[in-house]
Structures are given as C-alpha cells and as structure tokens.
Amino acid sequence: MDRPRFRRAFLAPRFWPLWCGLGLLWLTVQLPYPALLAIGRFLGAVMYRFASDRRRIAKRNLELCFPEKSAAERKRLLKENFASTGIAFFEMAMSWWWSRQRLAKLAHVEGLEHLQKAQREGTGVILMAVHFTTLEIGAALLGQQHTIDGMYREHKNPLFDFIQRQGRERHNLDSLAVERDDVRGMLKLLRSGRAIWYAPDQDYGAKQSIFVPLFGIQAATVTATSKFARLGKALVVPFTQERLADGSGYRLVIHPPLEGFPGETEEADCIRINQWVEGVLRECPEQYLWAHRRFKSRPPGEPKLYAKRR
C-alpha cells in the first residue's frame, strides 16, 4: 500500500469534531506514564458500567473458557479486562505520538535473535500473535527494533485512517501495510524474507475455517496460517506481549519458530495453534480482547452460545 498522505479535504467541517478529539487525546498522553495507567483504569471502569453489550460478550466468553473459576473470580477478571481495555486507548495514542526515545524506555524485548536469524537467511516469518489489548503498543515497540509488516484493514473514516497509519508506520519507515484480503501480496512479502504480524485467534466465519477445540469448545479456526507458511515458504514464530504489573513497561517475547509446521493436515495445525492460543490466554487472561465473539460460528446443529444483541 502507498504511504498515508495528508489531504486538504481533512480540513472540512465534518472532520472538526474528530480533530478536537484527537487534539484532546494528544494533550492527555503528554502526562507521565503512571498517570495514563490510572486514567485508563478509570476509563475502563466507565466502559464496564455503560458498554453493556461488550460486557455481556466478555462475561460470556469468560464463562465458556474458565468454568473452573467461581463467579466472583470471573467478575474480578472481567473488571480487570475492562481496565486493560481502557488503558489500551491511551497506549494507542502513546504509540502514535510519543517520541521514539520515550517509548523505547518501556520495551523489554526477548528472543529478537529468532527474527534476526530468519532475516539473515532470507526466510519469511509469520509473526503469530493474539489480539491482546496491548496489541498497538506492542507492535510499535517491536517495530522500533525490527522491521515487521502488518495485516491491515482500512478504517471507514479517512482522517482516522490517515492518523492511524501514520502513527503506526513512523516507528520503522521500511515497514509495509498489507490489505487483509491481499493474499498474493502477503505471499510475495513472505517469499522475499519479510516478517508479517498475523493473528489467527478470531472467528472469521465457518467458510474459511474448520472447527477444532479451544478451551474445550469447538471454535471456527482459520486454516490460512498453514497455507501462508507452506506457500510463502515461511517460518511461524509465536509472539507474545504483556503489560507489566509493576508499571515498568511491556515484556515482548519472540519465541522459537514452530518445528514441523505446517504439519500433515490443516486440522492438526489448527489444533496446535489453538493449544498455543489457550496457553497464552491462561497466562495473561486480563489483557485479552474478550469482547470479541470468538465462538459465534457454530458447527451444524449446535446452538448459538451468545444471546442476541440488545
């Protein structure tokens, strides 16, 4: 995709409310990091109170995935999850507008040698991640140390799309944005030895997925990870990130490449991916995007797991 460019049309009156909101957000993120964490937690509490649809979805997901926890434990986890979501709003702005030096102080990166080795050998990398609430800032911190491309879906608001892409791509001018449906472009990048951020943990519908267990529940799981790895001749390198509880920043871990992947069947690969996803989420459940209806698609004959939206 071409680099984002400013257009005179962004100065039109219909964009003024968004400009005002962005300006207020820019001013807010000039505050010290501990203050932003506190404000984010407050915003999360407000969202917990008023975002009823998202709260119901997240609550239902926690019931499905952690039946062994008590109702009180799941409620505490739910509130922590909303606090993390509130903080993520400011982390997004930090990654767009903080100076590179200020942002880099928060990074604690492990396993960078796995990406460097693949780059030296000219081997493409599928950087397999999950949709943590720290997704935006995690990608920014890693992008400062190694070129990573990203799957991208254009935002409906062109001004917001411009600000978002400009903020994301400023950390590494060599990074590229790949349209989510541009399979040919993604394979071309992988074959040329690039590393592409990719998350296979959401429900994209039964048409392009197969049903395999996740937390003991049949979940529609995309088979694209296997296809991309095989056709792009690429390694699959798991990537995790975590907001540290002591307020010192973020732990980013690039794990060793998966061995023997892709395997003999797409089903076996999807089971392996879901087992990895489940393990990651059990380690850091409060920072995951539970408001996504992960089990929306159901195998034929199985009942729906979510109530209708109000």
Q: What is the pLDDT of residues 228-266, one digit of tens each?
A: 999 999 999 999 999 999 999 999 999 999 999 999 999
Residues 6+ positions from 289 with CB-CB distance below 8 Å: 85, 131, 132, 133, 135
Task: Tell me how many domains the chain contains.
Answer: 1
In a domain, 265, yes or no: yes
In a domain, 298, yes or no: no
For 279, half-sphere exposure in the C-beta direction (CA atoms, 13 angstrom radius) is 10
* SS3 state of residue 240: strand
Residues 6+ positions from 173 with CB-CB distance below 8 Å: none
> Is residue 247 left, alpha or beta, with left meaning phi > 0 and alpha meaning psi from -120 to 50?
left
- Report whether pLDDT(1) > 60: no
In a domain, 1, yes or no: no
For residue 235, the domain's CATH number is 3.40.1130
- Average pLDDT of span 70-78: 98
Rounded Cα–Cα distance for residues 23 and 263 (Å): 49
Q: Hey, how many other C-beta atoms are within 10 angstroms of the C-beta on 143?
A: 21
In a domain, 214, yes or no: yes
Are the C-beta atoms of 51 and 43 separated by less than 8 Å? no
Q: Residue by residue, what is the 3-state secondary structure of 130-189?
A: CCECCHHHHHHHHHCCCCCEEEECCCCCHHHHHHHHHHHHCCCCCCCEEECCCHHHHHHH
| Per-residue model confidence (pLDDT) at position 187 | 94
Peptide bond into 262 cis (omega under 30): yes
CA angle in degrees (0–180, nearest 5) for 95-101-105:
80
In a domain, 2, yes or no: no
- Average pLDDT of span 88-94: 97
Orientation angle between helical segments 266-283 and 224-231, nearest 10 degrees: 110
Q: How confident is residue 72, by pLDDT bands cut at 50, 70 and 90?
A: very high
Residues 6+ positions from 183 with CB-CB distance below 8 Å: none
Q: Which amino acid is at 73?
A: E
In a domain, 5, yes or no: no
| Per-residue model confidence (pLDDT) at position 176 | 76
In a domain, 243, yes or no: yes
Peptide bond into 257 cis (omega under 30): no
| Residue 132 Cα to chain centre, angstroms | 5
Rounded Cα–Cα distance for residues 251 and 110 (Å): 8
| Per-residue model confidence (pLDDT) at position 2 | 64
The enclosing H or E element of 114 equals helix 112-121
Are the C-beta atoms of 206 and 300 separated by less than 8 Å? no
In a domain, 186, yes or no: yes
Structural domain for 124, as ranges: 12-287
Q: Does residue 78 or residue 173 have the better pLDDT?
A: 78
* SS3 state of residue 247: coil
Rounded Cα–Cα distance for residues 185 and 220 (Å): 25
Q: Which amino acid is at 244?
A: L
Rounded Cα–Cα distance for residues 270 and 131 (Å): 17
- Average pLDDT of span 276-281: 98
